[in-house]
Structure formats: C-alpha cells, structure tokens
Amino acid sequence: MKTTPHYPHPILAKEGWAFIAIAVLTTVLSYIYIGFFLALFCLIITIFITQFFRDPPRNLPLNMNRYSVVSPADGRVVYVGSDVNPYTNEQNLKISVFMNVFNVHSNRCPIDGKIEAIHYFEGNFLNAALDKASLENERNAIILNTYTGHSVTFVQIAGLIARRIVCYAKASDELYAGQRYGFIRFGSRVDVYLPLASEIKVQLGQKVSASSTLLAQLPEVL
C-alpha cells in the first residue's frame, strides 16, 4: 500500500472540532451542576459525535495505476450499472456508495485530474440509499478531466439526516487520487460516473473504503 500524500487533518476532521468541543463541555457541565446520569448520557453522545468525525489517513492500493479509480467514500455499494450522467448528458457506468452514520464521512478524489466544473443543486433530503436521491436530493457534482483523457464525475449527495455538504475544491483545481476534498455530515451518498468501457471492480452490496478500495479501471483506449 502507498499512503496518500499531504494529508491535512489526521484522526479527527476539522468539520467536527466545534461539535466535539461543545459535546465535551456539555458533558463536564452536566456532571458538575446536574448529576452523573445526565453526564453519562452526554458522554455517550460525545463518543458518538467523535466517532462520526474521525478522519484517519488512508492508503492507496499498491497495484493501482493512472487508469485506476478508487472509492471516494466509505460505505456500501448500493448501485452498479449503466445510467445517464445528468451533468454531462452522456451514457455512463454509475457506482453509488451509501454512507451510514457509522462510516467515515470524509470524501476523497477517486483519480488524478483537473476539475472542469462544479455544479451545486439544492434539493430534498430523502434516504440516500434510494436511487432517486441521486436526482432529487441536495448534491454537489465535480466533473474531472483525468490525465488519461477521460471524464469522471463524482457527486456528493445529502441524505435523510445530512444537512451539510462541504466541498473545498474549486473549478480548475488539480486533484490527486485519495486527496481529501470534502465532507458530508450524518449519513449520505456519493455517485461516481465513469466511461462505459470501464472495468468495474466492485459488486452490489460490497463494503468499500475511501482511497483504499479500487472501484474500477478506466479503458486504456479512448
């Protein structure tokens, strides 16, 4: 395995620092001024919030090459198949990864490339495990031109509980595989659109890890 370079926020995501601090303070004050049982309840909540915002460094697959596409998120594969990419109007292969509240919610770039465009859409907050969430929920789509000449689109989608999509990337930014580019709070989904000739490396229902799981191989011939 090779480690993702320049990892900025090991162990705990910066998006969670304020939430964790408030939870810890509430626990301490509850113990001091109210009592043990409320403090214990607050401690359980604090542990849950802390585990949700964990953000450990990840390794890239040792056997990956410049055509390799890694998972942008932790979770379970809930869709694999052909579909129209609504951001390019092309027929693509789509892989969808659903993140529950116990998964790491830091999002990583699936392949090296340069961002062509970013599209944000307001929307609903349906269960992100449902396929219609891809088109109806709040979402943020990045269209990336890879250095192999392909176009890859990856989309952050808010879920039933999620109310905050964070994306630090900007149009024309260059990203590398495994680079942290965003975060979604409290349950969500990421869709990846690939050229039709790509070779899928995962199966429906499979658990995947951001940066560490190989999703697909792009075709070497355009």
| Catalytic-role residue among 30, 188, 198, 211 | 188
The 8-class DSSP code of residue 198 comes to -
pLDDT tens, position by position, 2-26: 445 455 556 888 888 888 999 999 9
On whether the pTM is more than 0.75, the answer is yes
Known catalytic residue at 188: yes
Residue ranges of the domains in the chain? 1-57, 64-217
The 8-class DSSP code of residue 61 comes to P
> Domain 64-217 belongs to what architecture?
Distorted Sandwich (2.70)
Residue in the structure block whose two tokens are 């304020």 = 18
In angstroms, the CA 14 to CA 159 distance is 21
pLDDT tens, position by position, 76-85: 999 999 999 9
The helix (run of H) or strand (run of E) holding residue 143 is: strand 139-146
Distance of CA 170 to the CA centre of its chain: 16
Edge-to-edge strand ranges of the sheet holding 199-200: 68-70, 214-217, 199-200
222: how many CB neighbours lie within 10 A of its CB?
Answer: 9
